[in-house]
Amino acid sequence: MRMTLAALLTLPMTLAAATPALAASGPFFSLSNTNFIVTIAFILFIGVLAYFKVPGMLGKQLDDRAAGIKSDLDEARALREEAQTLLASYERKQAQVQEQADRIVASAKADAQAAAEQAKTDLEKSIARRLAAAEEQIASAEAAAVKEVRDQAVSVAIAVARAEMARQMSDADASAMIDASIDEVGAKLH
């Protein structure tokens, strides 16, 4: 119906455009006038199109295409929203990972500083132990040197005393002393 109305509206326009002055000569409503034949062919063509409902099919195809485009737009809009949601999720995760990395770095710095302080304390203790051991070795060496000097002095004094006693003592006195020493050792052993 819609096309029939359109065909009726286009008919006067085509009749007005097809004037005898522009084309053939003679009466307009004659089969020998080409303008009249073309006008009738055009009207028949429009009629055939209307009969086979071509305008409806074209309208349906255009509506289907519009629906497809609308569906594609809706799908694209949904995909965009999903992408934005996914992007926001990744941005949140990236912020969390960055925060966690910052905490790990801060913890590692604190651990390193604590380890450095502990190493410094351990080094100071080790140095103090080594100094104490060195002082102890020095004191021991000093005591050993003093003892050796004393022992040497005692040995020298005994040797001098022996020599002096041997020079001043007679053989009889020496025999008497030896006998007294033997008696004293024997008394102590029994």
pLDDT digits (tens, 9 = 90+) for 57-80: 999 999 999 999 999 999 999 999
Higher pLDDT, 32 or 26: 32
**pLDDT confidence of residue 121:** 93
Enter the tokens of residue 40.
């009738």
Enter the tokens of residue 175.
């025999």
8 A C-beta contact, residue 15 and residue 51: no
DSSP string covering the chain, please?
-HHHHHHHHHHHHHHHHS-TTTS--S-SSSTT-HHHHHHHHHHHHHHHHHHTTHHHHHHHHHHHHHHHHHHHHHHHHHHHHHHHHHHHHHHHHHHHHHHHHHHHHHHHHHHHHHHHHHHHHHHHHHHHHHHHHHHHHHHHHHHHHHHHHHHHHHHHHHHHHHHHHHHH--HHHHHHHHHHHHHHHHHHH-
Does the pLDDT of residue 1 top 60, yes or no?
no
Q: How confident is the model over 28-45, as a mean pLDDT?
A: 88
Across the chain, what does the average pLDDT equal? 84
Reported pTM: 0.38
CA distances from 129 to 96, 133, 135, 141, 142 (A): 49, 6, 10, 18, 19
Q: How confident is the model over 159-169, as a mean pLDDT?
A: 74
Does the pLDDT of residue 13 top 70, yes or no?
no
